[in-house]
Amino acid sequence: MTRLPPLSRRAFTRFTLAASAAMLAGTDRARAAPPSGEPIRIGILHSLSGTLAISEATLKDVMLMLVDIQNRKGGLLGRPIEAVVVDPASNWPLFAEKARQLLSVDKVASVFGCWTSVSRKSVLPVFEELNGILFYPVQYEGQECSRNVFYTGAAPNQQAIPAVDYLMSEDGGGAKRFALIGTDYVYPRTTNQILQAYLKSKGVADADIMINYTPFGQSDWQTIVSQVKAFGSAGKKTAVISTINGDANVPFYKELGAQGITATDIPVMAFSVGEEELAGMDAKPLVGQLAAWNYFESIDTPANKSFIADWHKFTKNPKRTTNDPMEAHYIGFNLWVQAVEKAGTTDHDKVIAAMVGLRQPNLTGGIAQVLPNHHITKPVYIGEIQEDGQFNVVWQTPHEVPGQAWSPYVPETAHLTGDWSAPVNCGNYDTQKKACLGSHHA
């Protein structure tokens, strides 16, 4: 296994500055005058019921905590921030309805929300029509670059591609066959399209790639896990790439255990299983299975310790876990606060313009910077599941990776780039034709 490298002097200095800034922020919080006047409203658009509540409900709670912390610091522009919480109930058309309500009725300054890509795709036309701002905190499939969205979760080159590189490496077991198992919607399908192209570019044959999709909430995994087991018995090291989302993960992992598949036999690399999902499972049979994220609760930094302490205090529950999309909301919310302060207003156009180039310390000792394509820089970590439902980091990138909106491995998007800064101002600029292609999402 690759051991974590020691912090370089530059990284240590950056880390120390970030920690000092966090301490100063705490001092400011104690001194700040209470906010007054008309509240600045923000929307929280996360499922509190339905199949995705297992993952999304906690994101509503962390947003309420961040609002509370900011209000104790003095609010924003001297005004209190007020969270408007809605429940789109894991229902894709309802996401669009609730987004319209937040923007046109509640007049929110920005919205923090969505989990699945199908929910984001559902609300995207609403945000573009009404010129709203969405902070999207979850890893996704890329192939999109909207002026009205800030993608604070991982793009494929910040999660899926490094995960495959790890699995193919000697440290990761040297996998030669890949079973791509996912929930049947846009994120798994597009991610697997990219991964298929990437695997082929690395010399993996079609016969060594298995792909399977199941509906949301899939409960019977016996046949599929049997197929994976058979696929892995061909004499080549096999790994599973899991883009299974929501509560279907619980019976999937149970079935792996029931059929005696361990991390040693066929490792599973999950892109949608974190601490929150593991909190509802017996983690013992999953020990050694893998996940790729940009944050783990177990990462030991002063900023992360402080965040976890705030979380336990706010929820009045010392057992509540933190996870990657929570950190993405932490980064996104603080970047939005910075942008509003920089613009001196909550005006959407001015805030969008102020965002590019802003820097925010993350919770793992680095810096998140907003790129012209509205993605951010993120470190990548591979973690092994432990008995207590936490992750032991076994590999990490040496520095933050800039998020790519468009995949260079898919022929149709290989020459596209997103750049919402002047003079380009285009979500899908063709670098060969030197032209903006108009539509900025696939």
Segment 367-380 mean pLDDT: 98
- Report the C-alpha gap between 66 and 327 in whole angstroms: 11
The model's confidence at residue 246, banded by pLDDT at 50, 70 and 90, is confident
Query: Considering Cα of 289, then 168, then 137, then 53, what sign does the dihedral take?
Result: negative
Phi, psi (deg, nearest 5) at residue 211: -130, 135
241: nearest Cα among 348, 344, 162, 310: 162
| Contacts of the segment 310-315: beta carbons below 8 A, 24+ positions apart | 310/65, 310/69, 311/62, 311/65, 314/61, 314/64, 314/65, 314/68, 315/61, 315/65
Q: Please tell me the number of Cα atoms within 13 Å of 352 on its side-chain side.
A: 24
Segment 17-38 mean pLDDT: 58
Domain edges within the chain: 9-155+300-380, 158-293
Helix 160-168 crosses helix 186-201 at what angle (to 10 degrees)? 40
| 9-155+300-380 shares its CATH topology with 158-293 | yes
Using a pLDDT cut of 70, give the percent of the chain over it.
92
392: nearest Cα among 8, 18, 2: 2
Q: Which top CATH class is 9-155+300-380?
A: alpha beta
Quote the tokens at residue 299. 């990462």
Calculate the CA dihedral of residues 363, 367, 370, 374 and round it to 10 degrees: -50
- Report the C-alpha gap between 442 and 440 in whole angstroms: 7
Say whether pLDDT at 24 is over 70. no
- Report the C-alpha gap between 413 and 203 in whole angstroms: 21
CA-based angle 289:293:299, to the nearest 5? 90
Please report which helix (H) or strand (E) contains residue 113, including its range. strand 110-113
Tell me what the pLDDT averaged over the chain comes to.
Answer: 91
| Contacts of the segment 201-205: beta carbons below 8 A, 24+ positions apart | 201/409, 202/168, 204/176, 204/177, 204/178
| Cβ-count burial 359-379 (b if 16+ within 10 Å, e if not) | ebbbbbbbbbbbbbbbbbbbb
Helix 302-315 crosses helix 324-343 at what angle (to 10 degrees)? 100
**Model pLDDT for residues 152-191, shown as the tens digit of each residue:** 999 999 999 999 999 999 999 999 999 999 999 999 999 9
- Report the C-alpha gap between 219 and 249 in whole angstroms: 9
**Model pLDDT for residues 130-160, shown as the tens digit of each residue:** 999 999 999 999 999 999 999 999 999 999 9
What architecture is the 158-293 domain classified under in CATH?
3-Layer(aba) Sandwich (3.40)
164: nearest Cα among 216, 241, 71: 241
- Please give the full DSSP string across 274-329, using - where no structure is assigned: -HHHHTTS--GGGTT-EEEES--TT---HHHHHHHHHHHHHHT-TT----HHHHHH
CB 301 within 8 A of CB 364: yes
CB 89 within 8 A of CB 50: yes
pLDDT (0 to 100) of residue 367 = 98
pLDDT (0 to 100) of residue 12 = 39
Which amino acid is it at 155?
A
